[in-house]
Each structure stands twice: as C-alpha cells, then as structure tokens.
Amino acid sequence: MALTKEQLEEQKKDAVELLFSGPQTLGFAKAMFFGHFRHELLFPYPRLSPEEGYHVEKAITDLREFAATKMDPVAIDREAEIPLDVVVGLGNLGILGMTAPASFGGRDFSQLAYTKVMEAIGGICSSTAVFVNAHHSIGIRALLLFGTPEQQKRWLGPLCHGSQIAAFALTEPEAGSDAANVQTTAVPSPDGAGYILNGEKRWITNGGIAQVLTVIARTPGSGGNRKKEITAFLVTPDMPGFEVVEKRMAKTGIRGTATGRLKFTNMFVPKENLLGKVGKGLKIALTVLDFGRTTFGASCTGAAKVCVEAACKHALSRVQFQQPIAEFELVQKKIAFMAAHAFAMEAVTSNCASLIDRNFDDYMLETAMLKVWSTEALWKIVNDTIQILGGKAYFLDQPYERMMRDARINMIGEGANDVLRGFIAVVGLKPLGDYFLKLQDAAWHPWRGLPSLCGFAWNQVKRRLTVPEVPVASAVLKPWATSLGKRVRQFALAVQRQIFRLREAIITRELIHERIADAACELYASSCVLARLDALLQSSDANTPEGKKDFLTGEYYLRFSDNRIGSILADMDGKLDSATLAAAENTLSIYRNGSQTS
C-alpha cells in the first residue's frame, strides 16, 4: 500500500534532519547537480608519499607471503570459517588496525594506503576482505571517530592486535536499508546508571565471534515531543542478556565470514558504554559506512584485477575454430570492459580515500557512488570472466564460481544499491531544490528578490553558452576535458528540467532517481579517471610500456562512459516508465489477492 501524504512528509522531515542538519558544504558530486566542476577536489590525482608508499608495498608483500602459506580461500569457503591462525596472522601483520594510531598498536596508515592493502586482500579472498572490513572499517572506525579517550584506551589495543574482534550491529528483521526503522530498544535504567536493551540483530558480520560490538538501538528521546531517537552503544558478549542465537548463518557467498544472529534480553549496558551522543546513532552508522564503502571499492578492485588476468590468459591460450578465442570480437569486448573498469575502480577508490584523508566534511555521495558503481561493475566482470572461461569456470576446482557467489552480496550489503541510487539522487537534488524554492519566494516578492531573479537569469544564459572548466595539464587530454565539461552541463540542465517538470513529485519517482544516479556515477568515475590519466602523463611512467597501456585503458573508459552518459541523458524523461509500471502492476495483480498459488 502506498504511503500517505502525512507519512511521506514525516519521512522527508526525518531525512532532512539526519542528512542536512548543521553546516552544508558543496562537495564534488553535489556541485555537479549545479553544473559545477570542482576540480580542486580531484586534481592532482592522489598519490602516496614515497615513505608511505614504501611501507604499503612492504605490507602488501608481507600479506602475499602470509596468504601463500596460511590463507586458503578454497578451504575458508568450504569450511565456512576463517581459521584462528589466519586472524592471528593478520593481527601480527598489523592489518587489523592499519589506520589506528601507533599509540594503540595501529600502523597510522592513511585511508588511501589502507585501500591499497584492502585491494590486495580482495584479490586473494573475499571472505577475509569482508571480515577485515567489518572489523576495521566499520568496527574500529566507530571507536576512532566517536569513542571517548577511556573507551579507546580500553578497546583499541586488543582490537588492533587481533586478540579481540569488532562488529557493527545495525541490521534487524525490520531494519535493513531502512536503518532508521530499528526496533531494538534502549531504555534508561531506573537508577540512571545505564540502559536496558531488548531486541534482535541479524546478518551481523563477526556478530557471533566479536568481543566488542557497536549496537544501534532506539532510545526514548529527550525532546519536547519525546520522539524516539537512534543511539549507539558499545556492547560486550559477557553482558547478562546477550545471546548468540546463531553464530554462523549458512549463506551463498563470503561463507568464511561469521554472520551472526543476536538477541538482547533485558541486557544492562552502562552509560559509560554510550558511543557518541544520545540520538546520534544513525549519524554514526552513516559516517562509518562511508569508510566501509571506500574499502568495499578497494576489495572490488582487487577481485576485478584477478579476473582481468585470468580472462586474458585463458583467452590467449584457449584455441577454438583454429584460433585463440582472444581473436574473437565478443571476447575482446568483454576484456576491454573488464580492464577499463578495473582501472577506473582504482581511480575512484583512491579519490574517495583522498577526500577522507584531507578531512573534507562531505563525501557521503561520493562513497555511495563508488559502492553502487564498483559493485555492479565487478558483478559484470565476474560474469564475463566465467563466460570467457566457459565450462571450465563452472566447476569447483576453479575459483570463479566462488568469486561469483562472493560478489553478489556486494550489491546488497552496506546499503542496497537500489536504495543508494535513491539516496544519491535525492541528496544531490536537495540543495538544487532549495535554491529553486528561494527563487520561487523571490518571484512572489519581486522587488526584494530582484537580485536573486537576475542572478538566476544570468546563470541560465551562462550555463547554456559556457562549459564548466575541467583543467588538465596534458594537451592530449584537453578534448576529453572539454567533452566531460559538456556532459556535466548537460547533466545539470537535465536534472533541472526534471525538477521543473515534476516539482515535488520527483521525490518519489524512483525510475528518474535511477537515471540521475547512474549518470552521476559515470560522471564522477570519468572525472577520477581523467585525473589519473593527467597525473600519469605528467609522470616518468608516461612513456613506459606499462604507462602507455594504462593510458589506452583509461582512455577507453572515458569513451565508454561518455557513450553511456549520453544514452542516459537522452532518455531522462523515461519513455518506457509508464509502460514498465503498468506491466509490473499487471503481474502483481495476479498475486496480490492470492489468486495465483503456483
């Protein structure tokens, strides 16, 4: 049943309060909705310092040596468990606390450096990559960002060393992508010493094996209307009332991870375990997910590179119809897509990590774009790898069926992609919509609003006659920079047209959201690739064989993406939308009243 107008208004109010409270900045992604290209946020392309680069290379070398003898992804998948000696080994290597301060036993790695290590893990074992991501990127990270000095002193050391494991417990039977719908309650205890928690959590990575869990629960609220709030707590399994209902839930992929189901029954949590402020739990959840989505992109990059290598080697050696299958155009088409998107994944991941390292206030759209775009690209890459290898890839003596099973969860976990598309579109539209509301007010008060109206008219003329500047140092890239600037302008005008056409109804038009989000993702990815290519051409690697191949790979991505952006923008109105919805309703109606039973 469709939501009522009052329910929609309430959801809108909650979203605005959560996402747009406090000072608002115009990051790179949001600026695109206005037709701006904030080049200073992407250029120059982020690089590790020589010193940090040395430590990263050593960390990756040590990791690969450890993995070769201790980390068996086949056994991890078959036994549905990451062995304890692997966890201990990862702790000894410093991987479980890489971005934590050295004073707590961490390695003080930047987010960019950490993504390079996560890329390597993603290419070895997806289960291990998800385990590390849950422990560090959203587990430890919550303590680093929001923990008190006392909480950090108590838990960060053991977590960094790997003697304790962290988990982030958000998902419930009624709260998945709708994170605000958590039903676990946290009521202040009568003596004021803490909170009493009751509820269930499910599908929690590391949930059944963790010694420290960040638990998101609903508190009564302290405002005048006593509205319930979402709050975060640090929970340990030794608390009376903590129950592991299911330690390792059987699942399709990433089978080595311990995905748990938990229950809290009158569980007392001392007030000292409150993480952050009361009522700010959802903000904490969204913030740490930004970090998790960045390392998600890194893991996808590592898996994509493995697929590129496997597909190319097989295509060159497999002979059919008296020639290597690498000579066939449909195989070449797949390999071109795979290589270009692996190159672009690394570029987008590095940019998102750099935004975090440079302490920008607003990168939630960029990390959401990375998550949606990279996970769907990897899914196609894995599928195409299986197609190129044919029947060989379908059998269990090869890793590709496992990679396919592992890759599927990426489009569901840490924000389902369809939900994130709506998030990207609506959050991107909000500042633009607010601007137009101010213009509407100015139109009602023409004398007072004359400067605003004149400014709008001038901007409309300027936007149609000029192209946003996309500065590149390399002359060979200037045509691509101009083309990208034109696409940003076209995107902004297309979005503006949808706002004028649909007005407030645009908030619920998900098919429009999908096209807006997909175009924005491609524009952002192309911008990151352009920055990477510009840095490449200015480096000493430009004329090396590898550098020349990287340039051609990146340039192909720009061609591919430009074509896709053009296709999306050409059908922004959605010629098939009405027919699509009618066809869906026709099919749903068969089952809606229970008339179809089989």
Active site residues: 414
Q: Which two tokens stand for residue 490?
A: 């076209």
Q: E-strand spans in 138-225?
A: 166-169, 185-188, 194-205, 212-219
CA dihedral 265, 271, 273, 276 (to 10 degrees): 120
- Check: CB of residue 571 under 8 Å from CB of residue 490: no
Q: Are 206 and 165 in contact (CB under 8 A)?
A: yes
275 touches 142 (CB < 8 A): yes
Amino acid at 286: L
- Tell me how crowded residue 558 is: count the other CB atoms within 10 A of its CB: 23
Alpha carbon distance 269, 186 (integer Å):
9
- What's the CA gap between 503 and 227, in Å, rounded? 30
Instruction: Quote the tokens at residue 346.
Output: 């690394």
- The DSSP-derived string for 476-534 is GGHHHHHHHHHHHHHHHHHHHHHHHHHGGGGGG-HHHHHHHHHHHHHHHHHHHHHHHHH
Spatial distance between the Cα atoms of 420 and 577, rounded to a whole number of angstroms? 20
71 contacts 246 by C-beta, under 8 angstroms: no
Residue 235's nearest CA partner among 188, 175, 169, 156 is 169
Are 528 and 485 in contact by the 8 Å Cβ rule? The answer is no
d(CA 440, CA 447): 13
Whether the Cβ atoms of residue 230 and residue 284 lie closer than 8 Å to each other: no
The amino acid that residue 534 corresponds to is D
Asked whether the beta carbons of 126 and 407 are under 8 A apart, the reply is yes
- Which amino acid is located at 455 in the chain? G
Return d(Cα 215, Cα 218) in angstroms, integer: 10
Determine contact, residues 165/211, Cβ cutoff 8 Å: yes
